[in-house]
């Protein structure tokens, strides 16, 4: 029997842990979509960043190297997407789907090629140390809240910081205003001398890089073991795309929005413990099959999209020109 307070603390702590990869993915996709590009390749972009960042991090024995490479590789995938859709004017939906297939394939290719030589980051002391918990002085000593909010690894803090920074960038800076203008009406931005293509490239790459960090975090969180059958990202890239709609294209809202999904994910891990600790109130959790909990994030995604479609005055944050390629001399 676990102490109820301790269980609740752990439960809340895990919500945050499980929200973070989605936060990276969602914020990254918001940056991409705000430039007017709908990138359905989140899943693949996260996979590429994850696997290459992870391997390099293990070899270099440094989490900084892992993050830098995860960001750079995912940004490179973003550059590919930008080249195809911005420069060559390819259809964004098809390109995004291709990126997903490609990225997940890269993950399996590298994993299978390494076989037994697949490294475990726990064997790289510097890397493992870098991913260990950083307790914020004083704040982490507060009961419950200290553990839940202020005893995480560096990538959790960074995710929240990136989300807030992106929100600030979009809403409070001149380049952010320009980016939003491109997503809304590229012709208007162009007529005022804003470099539309350059801006799209930059923000697609930066957004993709952020997704790559989320991929890396997922891999590390799952213990860094390569499984031949399952990709680390496991559909989270798709949930991130739905979340962008759910949080109305706001990085600040994304922090709250991802917790909803973190909650249901954590429920899957803790349903047994919750049922035995609070048998009267939550005993019924034990009767629900585990498969249902695994499916839950996707069921919730479906519900969220249905609710969002029914909402009146919806999608005020959706860039008007999303999914449309911009060609200046279009008649």
222 forms bridges with which residues in the sheet?
A: none
The C-alpha atoms of residue 232 and residue 216 are separated, in whole angstroms, by 9
CA distances from 198 to 39, 70, 99, 257 (A): 17, 22, 21, 30
Give the one residue of 114, 123, 125, 328 binding another protein; rule: CB under 8 A.
328
| Contact status: 173 vs another protein (CB under 8 A) | yes
Give the one residue of 16, 52, 181, 300 binding another protein; rule: CB under 8 A.
181
| Contact status: 137 vs another protein (CB under 8 A) | no
Give the one residue of 176, 197, 269, 276 binding another protein; rule: CB under 8 A.
176
Q: State which residue, 280 or 329, has the beta carbon closest to another protein.
A: 329
Tokens of 128: 């493992």
| Contact status: 172 vs another protein (CB under 8 A) | yes
Applying CB under 8 A, which part among 117-125, 171-179, 247-255, 283-291 lies near another protein?
171-179
Task: Tell me the site size for another protein, rule CB under 8 A.
Answer: 27
| Contact status: 185 vs another protein (CB under 8 A) | yes
The C-alpha atoms of residue 70 and residue 74 are separated, in whole angstroms, by 6
Give the one residue of 177, 222, 273, 275 binding another protein; rule: CB under 8 A.
177
Tokens of 242: 């739905």
| Contact status: 324 vs another protein (CB under 8 A) | no
Give the one residue of 178, 221, 234, 268 binding another protein; rule: CB under 8 A.
178
| Contact status: 320 vs another protein (CB under 8 A) | yes
| Contact status: 275 vs another protein (CB under 8 A) | no
Applying CB under 8 A, which part among 9-17, 170-178, 286-294, 298-306 lies near another protein?
170-178
Radius of gyration of the chain (CA): 20
138 sits in the region (left: phi over 0; alpha: psi -120 to 50; else beta) called: left
Element housing 89 (H / E): none
Give the one residue of 101, 171, 230, 309 binding another protein; rule: CB under 8 A.
171
Q: State which residue, 175 or 235, has the beta carbon closest to another protein.
A: 175
| Contact status: 117 vs another protein (CB under 8 A) | no
SS3 category, 329: coil
The C-alpha atoms of residue 225 and residue 120 are separated, in whole angstroms, by 7
- Let me know: does 200 contact 190? Beta carbons within 8 Å: no
| Contact status: 329 vs another protein (CB under 8 A) | yes
CB of 305 to another protein, least distance (A): 20
Give the one residue of 128, 184, 222, 282 binding another protein; rule: CB under 8 A.
184
- Tell me the angle at which helices 196-221 and 42-60 cross, rounded to the nearest 10 degrees: 60
How many other CB atoms are there within 10 angstroms of residue 285's CB atom? 18
Give the one residue of 174, 229, 289, 311 binding another protein; rule: CB under 8 A.
174
| Contact status: 316 vs another protein (CB under 8 A) | yes
**According to CB under 8 A, which residues from 187 to 246 bind another protein?**
187-194
SS3 category, 20: helix
- Tell me the angle at which helices 92-114 and 63-82 cross, rounded to the nearest 10 degrees: 140
Kindly tell me the burial class for residue 248, based on how many C-beta atoms sit within 10 Å of its own C-beta (0-12, 13-18, 19 or more): middle
The C-alpha atoms of residue 116 and residue 54 are separated, in whole angstroms, by 16
Q: State which residue, 229 or 316, has the beta carbon closest to another protein.
A: 316
CB of 174 to another protein, least distance (A): 6
The residues that touch another protein, with contacts defined as CB under 8 A, are: 171-178, 180-181, 184-185, 187-194, 312-313, 316, 320, 328-329, 331
């Amino acid at each position: 029997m676990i102490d109820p307070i301790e269980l609740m603390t752990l439960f809340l702590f895990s919500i945050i842990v499980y929200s973070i990869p989605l936060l990276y993915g969602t914020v990254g996709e918001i940056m991409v979509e705000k430039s007017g590009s709908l990138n359905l390749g989140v899943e693949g972009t996260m996979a590429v960043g994850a696997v290459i960042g992870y391997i390099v991090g293990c070899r270099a024995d440094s989490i900084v190297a892992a993050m830098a490479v995860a960001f750079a590789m995912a940004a490179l995938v973003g550059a590919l997407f930008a080249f195809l859709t911005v420069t060559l004017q390819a259809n964004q939906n098809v390109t995004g789907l291709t990126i997903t297939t490609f990225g997940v394939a890269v993950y399996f290719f590298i994993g299978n090629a390494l076989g037994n030589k697949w490294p475990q980051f726990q064997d790289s002391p510097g890397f493992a140390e870098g991913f260990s918990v950083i307790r914020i002085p004083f704040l982490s000593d507060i009961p419950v809240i200290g553990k839940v909010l202020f005893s995480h690894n560096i990538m959790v803090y960074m995710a929240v910081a990136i989300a807030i920074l992106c929100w600030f960038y979009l809403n409070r800076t001149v380049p952010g205003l320009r980016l939003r203008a491109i997503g809304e009406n590229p012709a208007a931005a162009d007529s005022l001398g804003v470099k539309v293509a350059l801006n799209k490239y930059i923000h697609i790459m930066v957004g993709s890089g952020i997704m790559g960090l989320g991929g890396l975090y997922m891999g590390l969180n799952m213990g860094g073991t390569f499984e031949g059958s399952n990709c680390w990202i496991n559909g989270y890239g798709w949930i991130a795309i739905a979340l962008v709609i759910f949080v109305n294209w706001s990085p600040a809202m994304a922090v709250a929005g991802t917790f909803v999904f973190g909650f249901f994910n954590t429920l899957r891990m803790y349903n047994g413990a919750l049922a035995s600790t609070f048998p009267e109130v939550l005993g019924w959790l034990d009767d629900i099959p585990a498969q249902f909990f695994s499916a839950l994030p996707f069921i919730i995604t479906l519900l969220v999209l249905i609710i969002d479609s029914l909402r009146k005055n919806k999608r005020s944050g959706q860039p008007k020109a999303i999914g449309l390629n911009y060609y200046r001399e279009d008649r």
